[in-house]
Amino acid sequence: MKYVSTRGLAPALGFSDVLLAGLARDGGLYVPETWPAFSSESFARLAGRPYPEIAYAVIHPFVAGEIADADLARMCAEAYATFRHPAIAPLVQTGPNSFILELFHGPTLAFKDVAMQLLARLMDHVLAERGRRATIVGATSGDTGGAAIEAFRGRAATDIFILFPHGRVSPVQQRQMTTVHDANVHAIALEGTFDDCQAIVKGLFNDHGFRDRVSLSGVNSINWGRIVAQVVYYVTAALSLGAPARSVSFTVPTGNFGDVFAGYVAKKIGLPVDRLVIATNTNDILARTLESGRYEMTGVVPTQSPSMDIQISSNFERLLFEAAGRDGDAVRRLMDGLGQSGAFTLPESALAGIRGEFAAGRTSEAETETTMRDTLAAAGYLADPHTAVALSVAARQPETGSPMVTLSTAHPAKFPAAVEAATGIHPALPLWLGDLMQREERFTVLPNDIGAIARFVEARARAIHEKV
Ligand SMILES: Cc1ncc(COP(=O)(O)O)c(C=O)c1O
Ligand SMILES: N[C@@H](CCOP(=O)(O)O)C(=O)O
């Protein structure tokens, strides 16, 4: 299987090259040339199997033989051995037909661990086989950074630089990035928003000289390896609820569109998914786009679900590519429009296609608080603010008979202030992170300037390369 760029101008690559490339050289995102097809029988055979086995089975066709089967199986087993729940991604029933899919049992208490623990192992494996090193530069609104640093810390073949928006992540999120002192880890507080961080990362990828000099790789959801690992929990959740014999709906708290796009991929490979619902906070560009057909940036406001304070939603480009009939020229024109004027209008047929696959809704700050309080009162369940955004949107969906699964993307202890203000309960960090707030912080504050970031990365990466 080859992967093609959403902008149509970069060479098609195999799985291992796509893992290391991150962003395509034409600025697009890689997607598989064709979707593998799973039959009902093959899904049925996976029901009841342990999570790492299902991960292996789902990811295997996407790897297309580029990694030996035994190595892939071992890496799936090792990645999910880092999780603190035997089910890895357990389902909790909160109503007659309502379920919460808990994705926060990994080392940093966020759903990002599910993909990142595997991605680090896959990248290490490919780099070792090629005798190469890579410099990872990533952007985070809070959770990707901690998960990436935890997964890549101490790895000999990678230096990792994470840009986070200064003052806009929760104290727990910040400390998960700034208290890791391995020599290959660099936390950078950028004087800007998450969108600024992400624009700099994409800018660095599009500077081919820089990209080649430092062997740039990415671990944001621009990397296909992130998406494919996230497809797995849609499969495990649906199988637990009766798939393939019945279909299941999902509501997903959404920012960069990676998580909900993984749900779309699950559907494309044959999982019976009824509805896929995009849930946004007041940074509601995706909900507005589905309503009006116009993707239009209006400025980001800080919310109590900071990881979703995003308006340039990277993976929406992957959906555009699908909805535009896989026409890379059309996607390039739309993305150029976004770059020049901060907006684009979806072609009618693309909008109709997207509306056929997704529903969307937004949750205000007041509704997020009420939902945290009501969920505790009605179901005895303490949800984090990101999960609450999605629970609120899920509750407003029409009943179709299929079970509704809301993805819970973070542990409430990552956002104690918001959870306590809404519920009166101060969620404690698990024992192994109990001293997080006392650990020494180390990070560099840099201006919102791509040149300053490029110089910092190149100087530090080179210094590390010279020592090795
Ligand atoms: C806790 C949490 N929930 C939801 C999201 C949104 O996920 P995505 O960016 O994949 O749409 C994020 C960040 O990505 C997050 O950290
Ligand atoms: N919400 C994310 C933003 C980056 O998303 P990614 O999935 O593209 O890595 C975060 O927590 O950093």
313 C-beta closer than 6 A to ligand 2: no
Q: Which atom of ligand 2 is nearest to 138's Cα?
A: 9
The pLDDT confidence band at residue 357, using thresholds 50, 70 and 90, is very high
Question: Long-range contacts for 299-305 (Cβ within 8 Å, ≥24 apart)?
Answer: 300/193, 300/194, 300/195, 302/168, 303/365, 303/368, 303/385, 304/365, 304/368, 304/369, 304/385, 304/415, 304/418, 305/253, 305/281, 305/368, 305/384, 305/385, 305/386, 305/388, 305/389, 305/415, 305/418
Q: Is the peptide bond before 244 cis (omega within 30 degrees of 0)?
A: yes
Q: What DSSP designation does 192 have? A: S
Q: What DSSP designation does 441 have? A: P
Stretch 431-456: mean pLDDT: 96
CA distance linking residue 39 with residue 244, whole number of Å: 9
CA distance linking residue 25 with residue 130, whole number of Å: 20
pLDDT at 18: 98
pLDDT at 465 over 70: no
pLDDT at 246 over 80: yes
pLDDT at 468 over 60: no
243 C-beta closer than 6 A to ligand 1: no
Structure tokens at 50: 């342990």
Give the tens place of pLDDT for each residue, 255-304.
999 999 999 999 999 999 999 999 999 999 999 999 999 999 999 999 99
Q: Which atom of ligand 2 is nearest to 255's Cα?
A: 1
Cβ neighbors of 128 (< 8 A, separation 6 or more) are 157
Give the tens place of pLDDT for each residue, 372-428.
999 999 999 999 999 999 999 999 999 999 999 999 999 999 999 999 999 999 999
408 C-beta closer than 6 A to ligand 1: no
283 C-beta closer than 6 A to ligand 2: no
- For ligand 1, mutation pick of 264, 386, 407, 411 (most atoms within 8 Å of CB): 386
255 C-beta closer than 6 A to ligand 2: yes
- For ligand 1, mutation pick of 303, 307, 389 (most atoms within 8 Å of CB): 307
Give the tens place of pLDDT for each residue, 148-201.
999 999 999 999 999 999 999 999 999 999 999 999 999 999 999 999 999 999
Above pLDDT 70, what percent of the chain? 99
The pLDDT confidence band at residue 253, using thresholds 50, 70 and 90, is very high
186 C-beta closer than 6 A to ligand 1: no
Q: Whose CA is nearest to atom 11 of ligand 2?
A: 143
For residue 221, the Cα-to-chain-centroid distance in whole angstroms is 5
pLDDT at 463: 67
Q: Whose CA is nearest to atom 3 of ligand 1?
A: 409
Q: Which residues are catalytic?
A: 112
Q: Which atom of ligand 2 is nearest to 315's Cα?
A: 8
The residue ranking higher by pLDDT, 463 or 48, is 48
pLDDT at 145 over 70: yes
ipTM: 0.99
The pLDDT confidence band at residue 38, using thresholds 50, 70 and 90, is very high
Structure tokens at 298: 């209006």
The residue type of 185 is V
pLDDT at 350: 97
